[in-house]
């Protein structure tokens, strides 16, 4: 194993027939139209009103205006050759106060238009129900994901989506990255709703209710829609690969523990009925318990695993690391260098994102082995660049590092499939540059450039054109730009 990914070559033909290639986005990051179409406020609308929360003091009020430009966006996606689009539905467009009373017909109409348009262009919809934009009313009145009542409200919302869109949407994702909501949202508070006031440990409750809500949504689907609609419902988890820093047993165990605290936290309850033992040992009563009835209820309530994966790190055991509460509890030290001192991979713009293509093969094989070879979709994978106001358009479109990233990570997916993992699809994050949460518009994850200064115009980057040639089966060597 080399220390860097190198320039892997990869071709469409390295993937099985029927393997799906798509792009991904989320509602709050791209839609804008905060107060249009009868939408209620979400926790991100309110969180970003406090300008200090976002690096460039921005928000998603307008975002990249996808709400008004969805046709142009879908047309571009189709012309590049993508066969699937993972988007998210804004809960507060469907139920403005989240209470599940009367659906907001304008919200339903928007997603109907979006879905119909993508299908007309030959793009299969993959819909996420919750990508972090909780109706603010549920936060204000219940405490959001800290309340067990959220489970029922989420089930009502999921049911409304299945009923309205399920005749055309056959792949559903309940929740995107419950880890980030628990950890960044209710734990340290860098994401909405902004922490649980000194009680970081309450984030385990937010995680607990997300697991139950996921299961409740799958339950509704299986009871009321599955027979007629024939679709599938999955959960999207995010996990870095944790490579043991050394051969020492304690480092090997620490790396396993780190994966338990990211992936096992969500998948163990669903596949095995309870949280990982390593979490219970370290968290004791801070970790909620599932009743026997809960265990029964959540068990195997999943049709596929969606994996969001960006990066990898070395993990060493540390009795008492100088770090935030979460890593102290885990007793892990996160290391970004090989023993030799060489970096684990080039760093992208985000400080947490190192380019480590081989980590994706490892995490896919880990999931296959640990959870009895489930169907997996890589639901997000990509890297960001710093927004550079002084660069020319030609320069910012020439994202050669990102092309290398995709080549390396796609080769890694192809290898995992050959190893035996049941990976059925891959979604690049993201289709468009967009509102990158607490980083605002300072980080660009898109394969399509959005010119924030010139009317939000869209410009495919070299990575989008590379993907297009890749998808059309043209030789990677053929660098000629046919567009």
Q: Which uninterrupted H or E stretch holds 314?
A: strand 312-317
Secondary structure of residue 85 in the 3-state scheme: strand
Residue 429 engages ligand PNW in binding (rule: CB under 6 A): yes
262 lines the binding site for ligand PNW (CB under 6 A): no
State yes or no: 436 annotated in a binding site: yes
| By CB under 6 A, residue 386 contacts ligand PNW | no
Q: Applying CB under 6 A, which of residues 208, 436, 468, 470 lies at the interface with ligand PNW? A: 436
Nearer to ligand PNW, 180 or 229 (CB): 180
Q: x/- string (CB under 6 A) for ligand PNW, residues 333-372? A: -------------------x--------------------
Query: Is there a catalytic annotation at residue 177?
Result: yes
Instruction: Give the chain's radius of gyration (CA, Å).
Output: 21
Residues 6 or more apart whose Cβ sits within 8 Å of residue 97:
40, 135, 137, 138
How many angstroms separate the CA atoms of 234 and 230, rounded?
Answer: 14
380 is catalytic: yes
Question: Locate tokens 């997000």: which residue?
Answer: 380
Q: Which of 90, 176, 210, 312 binds ligand PNW (CB under 6 A)?
A: 176
Give start and end residues of each alpha helix (H) in 195-262: 203-220, 226-229, 249-259
Q: What mask of x and - would describe binding to ligand PNW in positions 286 to 325, judged by CB under 6 A?
A: ----------------------x-x---------------
Q: Which of 221, 245, 406, 445 binds ligand PNW (CB under 6 A)?
A: 445
Per CB under 6 A, 58 contacts ligand PNW: no
| 335 Cα distance to chain centroid | 23
**Alpha-carbon span 412 to 217, nearest angstrom:** 32
| Interface residue with ligand PNW, options 41, 303, 380, 399 (CB under 6 A) | 380
Considering only 45, 124, 177, 303, the residue that binds ligand PNW (CB under 6 A) is 177
Nearer to ligand PNW, 87 or 111 (CB): 87
Which one from 31, 177, 240, 333 is the annotated catalytic residue?
177
d(CA 263, CA 240): 9
Secondary structure of 389-454 as H, E, C letters: CCCCHHHHHCCHHHHHHHHHHHHHHHHHHHHCCCEEEEEEECCECCCCHHHCCCEECCCEEEECCC
29 in a labelled binding site: yes
Q: Which residues are annotated as a binding site for substrate?
A: 29, 131, 176, 310, 429, 436-437
Binding site for ligand PNW (CB under 6 A): 26, 29, 176-177, 180, 238, 308, 310, 352, 380, 429, 436, 445
């Amino acid at each position: 194993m080399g220390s860097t990914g190198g320039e892997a070559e990869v071709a469409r033909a390295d993937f099985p027939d029927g393997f799906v290639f798509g792009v991904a986005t989320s509602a709050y990051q791209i839609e804008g139209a905060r107060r249009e179409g009868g939408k209620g406020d979400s926790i991100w609308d309110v969180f970003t009103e406090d300008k200090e929360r976002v690096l460039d003091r921005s928000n998603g009020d307008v975002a990249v205006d996808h709400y008004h430009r969805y046709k142009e966006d879908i047309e571009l996606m189709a012309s590049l050759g993508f066969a699937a689009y993972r988007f998210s539905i804004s809960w507060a467009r469907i139920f403005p106060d989240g209470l599940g009373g009367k659906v907001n017909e304008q919200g339903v109409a928007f997603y109907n238009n979006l879905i119909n348009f993508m299908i007309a262009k030959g793009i299969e919809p993959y819909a996420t129900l919750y990508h972090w934009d909780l109706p603010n009313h549920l936060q204000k009145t219940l405490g959001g994901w800290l309340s067990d009542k959220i489970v029922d409200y989420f089930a009502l919302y999921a049911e409304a989506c299945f009923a309205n869109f399920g005749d055309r949407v056959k792949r559903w994702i309940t929740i995107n990255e419950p880890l980030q909501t628990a950890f960044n949202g209710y734990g340290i508070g860098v994401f909405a709703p902004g922490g649980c006031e000194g009680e970081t440990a309450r984030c385990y409750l937010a995680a607990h209710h997300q697991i139950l809500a996921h299961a409740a949504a799958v339950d509704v689907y299986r009871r009321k829609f599955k027979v007629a609609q024939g679709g599938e419902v999955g959960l999207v988890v995010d996990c870095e690969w944790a490579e043991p820093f050394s051969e020492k047993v304690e480092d090997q165990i620490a790396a396993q523990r780190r994966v338990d605290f990211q992936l096992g936290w969500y998948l163990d309850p669903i596949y095995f009925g309870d949280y990982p033992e390593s979490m219970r040992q370290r968290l004791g009563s801070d970790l909620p318990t599932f009743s026997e009835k809960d265990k029964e209820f959540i068990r195997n309530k999943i049709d596929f695993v969606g994996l969001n994966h960006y990066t990898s790190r070395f993990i060493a055991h540390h009795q008492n690391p100088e770090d935030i509460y979460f890593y102290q509890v885990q007793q892990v030290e996160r290391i970004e260098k090989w023993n030799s001192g060489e970096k684990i991979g080039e760093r992208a713009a985000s400080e947490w994102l190192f380019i480590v293509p081989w980590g994706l093969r490892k995490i896919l094989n880990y999931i296959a082995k640990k959870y009895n070879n489930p169907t997996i979709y890589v639901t997000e994978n990509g890297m960001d660049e710093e927004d550079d106001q002084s660069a020319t358009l030609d320069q910012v479109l020439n994202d050669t590092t990102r092309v290398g990233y995709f080549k390396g990570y796609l080769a890694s997916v192809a290898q995992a499939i050959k190893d035996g993992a049941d990976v059925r699809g891959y979604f690049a994050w993201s289709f468009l540059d967009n509102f990158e949460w607490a980083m605002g518009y300072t980080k660009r994850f898109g394969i399509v450039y959005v010119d924030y200064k010139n009317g939000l115009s869209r410009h495919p980057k070299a990575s989008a054109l590379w993907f297009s040639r890749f998808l059309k089966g043209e030789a990677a060597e053929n660098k000629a730009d046919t567009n």
